[in-house]
Every structure is written in C-alpha cells, then in structure tokens.
Amino acid sequence: MTAVAPTALAPVRQKLSADEVLMRIGVVLVGCFLLLAVVLPIWALLKKAFEDKSGNFVGLANIEQFFATPSLATSAMNSVFIALVSTVLCVGLAFVYAYGLMRTCLPGRGFFRIVSQIPLLAPSLLPAISLVYLFGNQGFATWLLFGHSIYGPIGIVIGEVFWTFPHALIIVTTALAIADARHFEAAQSLKASEWRIFMTVTLPGIRYGLISATFVVFVLVITDFGVPKVIGEQYNVLATDIYKQVIGQQNFQMGAVVGLVLLTPAVIAFFIDRIAQRRQTALLSARAVPLIPKPNKTVDWAFFAICSVIAAMIIIVLAVAFIASIAKFWPYDLTPSLKNYNFDMMDGGGWESYRNSLTMSALTAVIGTAVIFTGAYLLEKTTRFSAPRSIVRFLTLLPLAVPGLVLGLGFIFFFNDKDNPLNFIYGTMAILVLCTIGHFYSVAHLTATTALKQIDPEFETVSSSLKVPIYKTFLFVTLPVCLPAVLEIAMYLFVNAMTTVSAVVFLYSPKTTLASIAVLNMDDAGDVAPAAAMAIMIFMTSAVVRILYTIATGSFLRRAQAWRRR
C-alpha cells in the first residue's frame, strides 16, 4: 500500500507542444543576448577593478589607490555636488512645467509638450557648446553671470539641467496623470485651502513619481560626461576622469575602479526606482475618477508665463548652437556660411562619421526592435517555465542600472580579450550596435511589454486550439496589433543611437567613427563651431525621424488600427 502512494502523488507531466518548445528556446536565446550585451561585460569590468596591470588578483588595492589619490577624491566630491544641485533644479523645473501641462488649462499645451522634448534629440554636448556661445568670454549674454565664469560648475549644472529636463518631465507628467478627482472634491467640500490641498493631496499623490525622477536625474548627471567634458575645464568630475584614465593614460584598471564607483549610485537608484514605481501604480484604485483641470484665469496665465520662460530657454540653447554653426568666423565675422559643415577638414572623421551614425542607428533600430519586441512577447506569452522567465525578466531591466560609460568600458574588457571567441567584433560596427541595443534595452522592453499586456491572451489560446503555429499568431496578429509600440521602440532606439556618446566613446574605431563622437573630438581640438554644426546635424536627423514617426502613427496607423474603432 505504502509503496503505491508516491506514484499516485507524482505530478502529471504534461508533454510540451512544439510551440512551447520553440518559445522556451526563444526565452533562453533572449537571455543569452542580454548575457552577452550586458551581464558579461559588466562582470569583466568588475573583475578588472580587482586586478593589477598583468591581470593578477590584488583585492582592494586599486580601490585604496583611488581613495588615496587626492585628485580623484576631489572629483568624487565634485560629481556628487554637481549631481545634487542639478537634480534639485531639474526636478523642480520639471514639476512646475508638468503641473502646468497636466493640472491647469494653460493655452498652447501641445506646443509646450513638443518643445520640452527637444533636448532628447541632441547629444548632451550640444547644450554645453551652446552655453559657451551664450555665456563664454565672447558670449551673447556673458554679463548675465555677473563676472562669474561659465567654465566650471555653473556651466555644468545649466547644461545638465537642460539635458535631463525631458527625462524628469516624462516621469513627473506620468505621475500627475494619475489622480483621483474624488480626493480633490472631498478636500474642497471640507473647505481646505488651495495650499492645504496641494500639500496633502497633490504632493502625496505624486511623491513616488518625484522620488523616481530624482534618482533618474541624479544618475544621468553623475554619469554624463558630455557636458563636463566641454564646459568643465579644470573642474574635474568622475565621468571625465574615467575618460582621462582610459583614453588619456590608458590606465584601464583605474578606469574600471572609477566605473565601479559610478555603478554604485546607479544600482542603488535602480532599486529605489523599482520600489517607487510599484507603489505609484498601486495608488490608483479601480473606482478612481479621472481629474479634469478646471479653467482658472490667474493660475492658467501664471503657468503659461513660467512654462514660456522654460520653453524659451530650451529654444534659445538650440538656436544659439545653430547660429554659431552658420557664422563664418565667430565672433568677428558673422556672415552666414556653411564653412563649418565642411567636416572632412576636421577631426572626428568628417562626413563619414555622420554616415556611420546613420548606419549604426538604422541597424540598432531594426535589429534592436526585432530582438526586444520578440523577447518581450516570449516573456509575456510563454507558459510556466517560470524560473528562467523571471531571470530573463530581471536581465531586461538590468541595463537601467548600468551607466553608458560603465557599459562601454565593460565591452572593451570583455570583447578585447584575446581569448574571447567574439574578439573579432571588436572595432567593428557590430560591437557598436550590440552595445547600443544593450544600453537602451530596458525602456524599449517596457514599452513592448505594456503594449502586449493590452492584448487579450485569448488570441494565443484560440490560435493554438485552431492548430495555428505560434509564430504565425505572432507575425499576423500580435505584430500588426502592436504596430504603434513597435514603431515607438524603433524610433526610440534610432534617436538614442544617434545621440549617445557615453558607451560608444570607448568602442569606435577609425572605420566606425560616429557623429556624436566627432562633436566631442572637434571640440577637443578647438573646432567649436564645427562641433556645433555636427550637433545640429544630429538634432535635425533625430527630429526628422521623430516627425516621420508622428506622421506614421497619425495617418498610416489610423488605417492599420481601424479595427480598434467601432
């Protein structure tokens, strides 16, 4: 009797269908991709930080040396200071702007939305270059600084606030979009003052959004090196130190240690952000009534004024870069000329760099969208197989915690190793594409997942009972339905590939110079106006892609998505 019981209790093992096998292989492949594009390079970097020049394990010796080097310790202090100030300013401005957009009836909302996205379309070098023209020793508006120099902390902070503004804005806007009108009505019927309502209803409602924005901006600033490279001059920060150590002195060990130091705040921010976001969505109950702002002349026009000032500053920064790029010889001869667009006579690889950037961005958009969307689909729709799925799901979010500079450095260590069978992609276009997809994986993945969650899971059930293989369902049902999300991912990847500097700066080769890096190299050689010209080329290209995306989602998708309407 007792001998029979175990067999009776043994779980019934269901035979896996062909579809399930296929999907599980797919999940594993996506995991392998992320392993290659993120995990192994970071591992290589961590290992390097604990090795000496010949590759022997030396424990904490490099880290001790880091803290013993006074200039590096100063840089660390400078980095934290800059990041704190920039974060407070940026989140504050983003909050006011977002409040104007979401909670008031200010005129011109669409315009303000578009302008706020401008900084996303240019590398972080562009605001820094503009600031030199605005407030440098020959600037338009140098007197505004009352004798202070734009070179150094002031310039870095202004540049960083400009560059990170849209990132903070998106998060705060999303947080403000979620509100339960009943809370406000309740507060009003209790005769609470406007200020009291703001403090007890509005702010608590978006606190997690603000926390999230704070950490995102802090990490972006502390790891950005475009702005301090151009305008920091003698004010050293960690992000420029890592570049000096690796490129300037070819000291890879110390570069790895600085990378490790930069990784720490990013990882902490990653976990806090995760927690904050989970809480944020939990605030909204199913019975919530959406809040619709009521017109209020004083408030609306006040916010219109504030938002106009912020929007004007964004436009001025962009316009100044453009004007500087078409002036013949700033500041002595301001006749318009395309001389500065003659990139072939400058450092940085000339027009070839621009063409390389287009190729790299197109490949990143196409391959990245295919991999990321397919990956998101597999993770959503694969049944059971839960342990591998949750591991891979964690890996898809990991890039959020890895600054670009750190990832790029990791790529050198991992792929330039002679024993790595993939060594041959070092110095090629492939490594740039792989690194860029890895760098921007998470946001694209989250976009895909959100879109996929909106589709009824019945599609797969029905298809499988009709014996339609899963890839047909994917290609002919899921993909067309999710076309808006697919295009959004492709656009996001393209624009980021055009503007990124941090990860690829360690990986380009003479045959694969990029436009964004050409901006950096031309500025380094003192060709500031041509650097502004190349930054403008990048901006215009990203803007065109963005406009094409808007047109595509507008007209073409109206037809493709006709089924959504009744």
* Residues at the site binding other proteins, with contacts judged by CB under 8 A: 22, 26, 29, 70-72, 74-75, 132, 136-138, 148-149, 151-154, 233-236, 247-250, 252, 329-333, 344-348, 359, 363, 366-367, 370-371, 374, 418, 424-425, 427-431, 433, 471, 474-475, 509-512, 524-528
**Least distance from other proteins to the Cβ atom of residue 332, Å:** 7
**Least distance from other proteins to the Cβ atom of residue 29, Å:** 7
Closer by beta carbon to other proteins, 217 or else 522: 522
How many Å apart are CA 370 and CA 446, to the nearest integer? 14
Closest by CA position to 213, among listed 306, 114, 314, 90: 90
Pairing of strands 327-329, 333-336: antiparallel
How many Å apart are CA 411 and CA 434, to the nearest integer? 10
Distances (CA, A) of 166 to 49, 311, 359: 34, 11, 26
Closer by beta carbon to other proteins, 65 or else 149: 149
With helix as H, strand as E and coil as C, how does 350-383 read? CHHHHHHHHHHHHHHHHHHHHHHHHHHHHHHHCC
DSSP string for residues in 251-304: -HHHHHHHHHHHHHHHHHHHHHHHHHHHHHHHT--TT--B--PPP-HHHHHHHH
**Least distance from other proteins to the Cβ atom of residue 64, Å:** 18
**Least distance from other proteins to the Cβ atom of residue 247, Å:** 6
How many Å apart are CA 518 and CA 511, to the nearest integer? 13
Residues paired with residue 180 on neighbouring β-strands, in sequence order: 290
The conformation of residue 474, written as its DSSP 8-state character, comes to I
Closer by beta carbon to other proteins, 330 or else 459: 330
Closer by beta carbon to other proteins, 322 or else 343: 343
Contact 250, 409 (CB under 8 A): no
**Least distance from other proteins to the Cβ atom of residue 225, Å:** 13
**Least distance from other proteins to the Cβ atom of residue 171, Å:** 31
Contact 356, 363 (CB under 8 A): no
Closer by beta carbon to other proteins, 148 or else 558: 148
How many Å apart are CA 498 and CA 274, to the nearest integer? 28
The conformation of residue 244, written as its DSSP 8-state character, comes to I
**Least distance from other proteins to the Cβ atom of residue 338, Å:** 15
Closer by beta carbon to other proteins, 276 or else 363: 363
Closer by beta carbon to other proteins, 174 or else 374: 374
How many Å apart are CA 380 and CA 356, to the nearest integer? 35
Give me the amino acid identity at 331.
P
Closer by beta carbon to other proteins, 529 or else 545: 529
**Least distance from other proteins to the Cβ atom of residue 516, Å:** 17
Closer by beta carbon to other proteins, 263 or else 434: 434
**Least distance from other proteins to the Cβ atom of residue 500, Å:** 17
Closest by CA position to 533, among listed 350, 301, 261, 286: 350
